[in-house]
A and B are shown apart, each in its own frame.
Chain A
Amino acid sequence: METSLGQVNATSVIFFLVFIAITLYITYWAAKKTKTTKEYYAAGRSISGFQNGVALAGDYMSAASFLGICGMTSLKGYDGMIYACGWLVGWPALMFLMAEPLRNLGKYTFADVVAFRLKQKPIRVAAAIGGILVLLTYATAQMVGAGNLIKLMFGLPYEVAEVIVGCVMLVYVLFGGMIATTWVQIIKACLLLGGVTILMLLGLSHFDFNPGVLYGEVQKMYSVKMLNPGGLISNPIDAISLGLALMLGLLGLPHILMRFYTVPDAKAARKSVMWATTFIGYFYCIIPIVGFTAAVLVTQKTIAGVDPGGNMAAPLLAELLGGTPFMGFIAAVAFATILAVVSGLTLAAASALAHDLYLNVFKSGVATEAEQVKVAKRSTIIFGICAILIGILFKGQNVAYMVGLTFAIAASGPFPAIFLSIVWKKLSTAGAVAAIVVGSVSAVICIILSPTVWVDVLKNKEAIFPLRNPAIITMTLAFVCAYVVSILTPDPEAEAKFESEKVRCYLGVGAE
């Protein structure tokens, strides 16, 4: 099959320019409404539950999972489906354990929740460190992925792609704050869900709209092995640890948690998780079908020929089914997806730097609105430039482990501290700081010593730490640290405030 992938393609450029034009217009409109910190970080709490649900789905469905899982299913078959399943299960957990307390107790960042009754400064510093670590690793994975994808799809040089993504994203966040970022997410989520749905329907039209017929073709063309579980789960403890990281890591991702402050109340927060779960569940149910369709119609040989990792399975299928215009559309959607996800990360990082560190640590909570917004914008620029530089620095590196690392840090650092601060009266300031620092740092160290980095990236013979994802060990360690340190350093003042926290947490009284 001849493909025009990798060449500058007029339709994809047009689709992309239309997307940029619309989102920049929204940014212009949002900029006029973005004056205070409440508007900059939380869109003035004016986003509805449904809108926030779509935006959450947009934040979570990255180009890496769209293209990656399609490719994995098309080349390896059933294992892609196991992987897809793991990405959804965090959402119900987020709903059951955290959505409402998070909304009721916080203002702009998850540190607000942890610091509610504990000492502001140490908590804010620890939370900012843990949060920035999560955001940086995630942004690295996204930026490197962005450069590679854009190179594959549009033929643009890697560095140019990094600078374009970084600059467009900075315009959204800098001028439009959370209002613009939310609408960019919503548009991107609709485009992505719509694009994948059309792709699936066009594909299934070749199989009488019956997935069973598709599986039959897969079996005939390759072997029955494509439909059976393969080698993805060779070590069950590893699989359990990865599952734990995916499930509970979601509950510690700062850019996801931040979205809860854009809605008016806990009920809307609950509604947004329900919608997010619906869209994300639908997305991960149909992605494997697209992958199988690509395997039959495009053939594995062609897919692997363009990119050995299989990442181009979906654009290739689009080209086959809808010609160059449809491929251009899918490519533009993938680009838009990266832009939107990086915007969300940058805004979350700006809130950690400006709201947690600048306002609550350096200024002890006293600064004018204008000053705070100014610092938030400066933080946005700093993180944006860091993201571009890191993207260029990591050019050509294998960063697949970065996403796993992000979830491992989030599950081991922020999550235990937030969860305990909500449910456990005796959690002390030192205990919470210990949990965040020990959890985050141990997750980073264990990943470096694990087979994923020590063997695959650093080319050593044997890994020092046996598990590919350390969450099962490091998260437990964080909880144990929080318990032991809290028992050793009781915090009577914090315990006394637990009652008013409970009233706000469960009844929403006094929530901002």
Chain B
Amino acid sequence: MGKTAHEIVTSDRFKALVRKKWNVSMILTALLFVSYYGYILVVAYGKDFLSTKVGEFTNWGIILGVGCIVFAWILTAIYVVWANNVYDVEVDELKKSML
């Protein structure tokens, strides 16, 4: 016997899934904010540090600038891997229980 929308939404399993989804989303969003604003604040207050050379000519500023973009991409990839392997599986099982 299939469950109604009300039964699904009030089930512990659904609640846990939604909570987990937002936990993952919020943690990743927080990391994104910290990395981007961290970079902006370093640009604002740590100009000397960013001007320090790493190699012969490359400096921390260039590395952090590119790093900021790469890190944002990695966060996105983490979400996709999590959603494909954890979230979608849970969703499929919950959907089956509705049939």
Which residues of A approach B to under 8 Å, CB–CB?
78, 81-82, 84-86, 88-89, 91-93, 95-97, 100, 211-213, 215-216, 218-219, 224, 227-229, 232-233, 236, 239-240, 243, 247, 267, 270-271, 273-274, 277-278, 281, 284-285, 288, 423, 499-500, 502-503, 506-509
Contacts and interface: CB of A to CB of B under 8 A. Distances in A.
B79 A95 contact: yes
Interface in B30-72: 32, 36-37, 39-41, 43-45, 47, 50-51, 55-59, 61-62, 65-66, 68-70, 72
Contact of B40 (A84, A243, A270, A277): A243
Given A239-B43, A508-B91, 9 more contacts: A78-B62, A82-B43, A91-B72, A96-B25, A96-B26, A229-B47, A229-B50, A274-B77, A506-B91
Contact of B73 (A96, A233, A278): A278
Nearest to B68: A85
B83 interface: yes
Interface of B: 5-6, 8-10, 14, 17-18, 21-22, 24-26, 28-29, 32, 36-37, 39-41, 43-45, 47, 50-51, 55-59, 61-62, 65-66, 68-70, 72-73, 75-77, 79-80, 83-84, 88, 91, 94-95, 98
27 contacts: A85-B68, A88-B69, A89-B32, A92-B75, A95-B76, A96-B25, A96-B28, A96-B79, A212-B56, A212-B57, A215-B58, A228-B47, A228-B59, A236-B44, A267-B84, A270-B80, A270-B84, A274-B76, A274-B80, A277-B72, A277-B73, A288-B65, A499-B9, A500-B5, A506-B91, A509-B95, A509-B98
A211 B61 contact: no
A498 to B, nearest CB: 8
Contact of B50 (A213, A228, A271): A228
Given A236-B40, A236-B44, A506 B18 contact: yes
A81 B94 CA distance: 45
A414 to B, nearest CB: 18
Contacts of A218: 57
Given A81-B65, A93-B32, A507-B95, A88 B72 contact: yes
Contacts of A423: 22
Contacts of B68: 85, 89
Contacts, number: 148
Contact of A81 (B57, B62, B83): B62
Which applies to chain B's interface (DSSP): helix, strand, loop or mixed?
Answer: helix
Contact of B41 (A78, A232, A236): A236
Contact of B57 (A96, A215, A243, A507): A215
Contact of B61 (A97, A228, A271): A228
B42 to A, nearest CB: 9
A6 to B, nearest CB: 33
B49 to A, nearest CB: 10
> Most chain-A Cβ atoms within 10 A of its Cβ — which of B55, B61, B69?
B69
B69 A97 contact: no
A281 B65 contact: no
B19 to A, nearest CB: 11
Nearest to A500: B5
A4 B79 CA distance: 48
A167 to B, nearest CB: 37
Contacts of A93: 29, 32
> Most chain-B Cβ atoms within 10 A of its Cβ — which of A227, A232, A423?
A227
B18 A212 contact: no
Contact of A89 (B44, B56, B72, B98): B72
Nearest to A246: B36
Contact of A85 (B28, B39, B76): B39
A229 B9 contact: no
A284 B70 CA distance: 10
A239 B44 contact: yes
A281 to B, nearest CB: 5
Nearest to B46: A229
A85 B50 contact: no
Nearest to B28: A96
B76 A89 contact: no
B88 to A, nearest CB: 7
B62 A277 contact: no
Contacts of A91: 72, 76
Contacts of A219: 57
